[in-house]
Structure 1
Amino acid sequence: MMKNQWFDGVMHCQNNAKAYVVLTVMGSVGSTPRAQGTKMVVTEDRIFDTIGGGQLEHLSIKKARELLTLKSQSQHVEYFPLGAKLAQCCGGATHVLFEVFCQHVNQLMLFGAGHVAQALVPIISQLPLNIVWVDSRQEMFDEVDKSELQLPTNVSALIAEDCTDALDEYPVNYVLVMTHDHQLDFELVHKALNIDSVEYLGLIGSATKAKRFRTRLAIHGISAPMLEKLVCPVGITDIPGKRPIEVAVSIAGQLIGLLNKHESNESQNSQAAWLQTKEIAKLL
């Protein structure tokens, strides 16, 4: 059985939120390396399966990676004569369909490495997120190490003397604040609300804390539309319980809802492009 088949490549890219191109051999004339319908997957650093090797595959991979640099979902058909131009002995000609899939990777910054965060990270690290986990206390990450929690490749632990500085160093669109210090929580929330790219800001705490923070934030110049980004208490309110794992599941559920809403919007935006692809395929 062939290793790294194209469908394995699609699963790999979707599970790791990597952009990829599916190449499909479409209409062919004469002798060609692979049959119509043969597929392969190309990423910026890997290939899965083959459409026959040789110059056809070499130039197809090159074209796929050129399309990836555009960072947008698209469909493109390329014509390849397999005679003298490509120095392949097949002598036929083929069309290759390139379908570009840009996986949107959400950047999440998690402040605080306490018990809730330690329960939360193993769950949300399985989602298409790049996570920067921030705390000023070395001992908290030492505790994580002792628990033998292996941080996945999409989670980076950052020890910062001033946690608010981390918001200047990394691009971010999701923020979770759950530190040990209410004043630090406030400073982080205030700064995050002033970052245009932040779409969602979850703050752990009670309804009383939420009301107090909203009043203080308004005094510090945060407008009502900006305050709409703030979710406090964070998490799905229908999930009861105050144990760390229960709170973590509640927060993870809310994030899953946001991510699926994001993917649904992207799917709607690309529907017209998919219809165009079907029309192209009919002509080949």
Structure 2
Amino acid sequence: MRVWRQLTDFVARHKSAALITVHDVKGSAPRETGAHMVVRPDGAFHGTIGGGQLEFRMLDIAREMLAQGRGPARIVDQALGPDLGQCCGGRVKILIETFGPQDLEDLAGLAEVEARDRLFEVACRFEEGRVRREVSSSVGDGPRAGWRETHGEARTPVLLFGAGHVGRALVLSLAPLPFAVRWLDAREDAFPSYLPSNAKAVRMRDPEAEIAEAEPGSLVLVMTHDHPLDMAITAAALKRDFPYVGLIGSATKRARFEKRFRELGLSQGKIGSLVCPIGLHGIADKDPAIIAASVTAQLLQVREKVMKD
């Protein structure tokens, strides 16, 4: 979730909004430090700090604070078991802040940095009961009597070749997730009129150049309307060290492609790294939406492994 964009929008539309942040965690808790919720004056919200009694109580406090008008921030210290009857057993500190029209300039500045689709650090400190934030250009110790927050999204780049039924379903499935999709197809009018904000449609001219220019760490999915084109794109992708190269198709298609890849001089290691069929094992339904859900789960697994390595 883009926290600062959401806050800016809520304040601009509704004249006030609250930000609920998991400020500190000790032991087991529903969400990690830095999880957020953005709350409107009428109680509608975006994001989650984990649900359950903790979330309900923090929403009640945020609404009370909004009803009182823009004021000082508040830190609420909760033991999840004794205080709330939650089984996590840990302890959390929750930071709740309110914002009004006078904060729009600062909120818009943070939203502008957030829109660059990268992680960024913010140095924070209390000033007259409110949190003052300054975007930091370097990683280091936080300010005295203060702390640092990390905001933004580290989106994993995805090259998706093909705008057929499965390609369309996959773009929708990836829409709310931390991926940046470059969606490629050579055909005119291949793309729908609406695209999610994390997807960019590109009329493909030179697929091998797209592979050559792709960011390291990109995830590649090949599902065009043309098998020779699939072959060329997949071979080019396997020559690079992408963490995931997936090709739509059956085991029979894979066997035929493997024979051609060997003729092209690709090593068995490279050929063996190809994911085909795509998606999680055990899901056999060929409905495009189900394939998309299965592949999305697979990409999330790959993303998590890459981020840990």
Q: TM-score range by the shorter chain?
A: 0.5 to 0.7
Pairwise CA distance, 1:97: 2.5
Q: In structure 1, how many angstroms separate the alpha carbons of the residues matched to 2:154 and 2:200?
A: 19
User: What does residue range 187-202 of structure 1 map to in structure 2 within 5 Å?
Assistant: 187-196=232-241, 198-202=242-246
Please report how far the alpha carbon of residue 211 of structure 1 lies from its aligned counterpart in structure 2 after TM superposition.
Answer: 1.4
More helix by share: 1
Q: Partners of 1:220 and 1:211 in 2: how far apart? A: 14
**Residues in 2 aligned to 1:21 and 1:161: alpha-carbon distance in whole angstroms:** 38
Per the normalisation by structure 1, the TM-score is 0.63
Match of 1:212 among 256, 264, 272: 256
- SS of residue paired to 2:182: strand
Say if 2:175 and 2:198, in contact at 8 Å, map to a contact too: yes
Q: Which residue of 2 aligns with 1:21?
A: 121
AA aligned opposite 2:289: I
Q: 1:34–1:191: structure 2 CA closer, same or farther, 3 Å change rule?
A: same
User: Following the alignment from structure 2 to structure 1, what is the Cα–Cα distance between the partners of residues 284 and 116?
Assistant: 31
Pair 1:65 & 2:165 matched:
no
Residues 1:76 and 2:114 are matched in the alignment: no
Indicate the RMSD between aligned Cα atoms, in angstroms: 3.1
Q: Aligned runs of 1:129-140 on 2, under 5 Å?
A: 129-140=179-190
2:165 corresponds to which letter in structure 1?
A: H
Alignment length (residue pairs):
208
Tell me which amino acid in the other structure corresponds to 1:5. L
Deviates more, 1:101-110 or 1:235-244: 101-110
Identical positions, percent = 31
Question: 2 CA distance for matches of 1:230 and 1:99?
Answer: 38
**Equivalent position of 1:278 in the other structure:** none
The one-letter amino acid of 1:112's match is G
* Structure 2 residues without counterparts, runs of 5 or longer: 1-14, 23-33, 37-46, 48-110
Could you state the TM-score of these two structures normalised by the residue count of structure 2?
0.59
Name which structure has the greater RCO, CA cutoff 8 Å, separation 6+. Answer: 1
Extract unaligned runs of 5+ from structure 1. Answer: 26-31, 39-49, 52-56, 68-73, 80-94, 267-284
The structure richer in strand per residue is 2
Q: Residue 159 of structure 2 contacts residue 182 of structure 2 at CA under 8 Å; is this kept in 1? A: yes
How far off is 1:96 after superposition? 2.4
SS in 2 for 1:253: helix
1:122 counterpart SS class = helix
Q: Secondary structure at the match of 1:234?
A: coil
Match of 1:33 in 2: 127
Match of 1:154 among 178, 198, 204: 198
* Structure 1 residue 17, shift from structure 2 partner: 6.0
- Paired residue for 1:3? 17
1:119 maps to which residue? 169
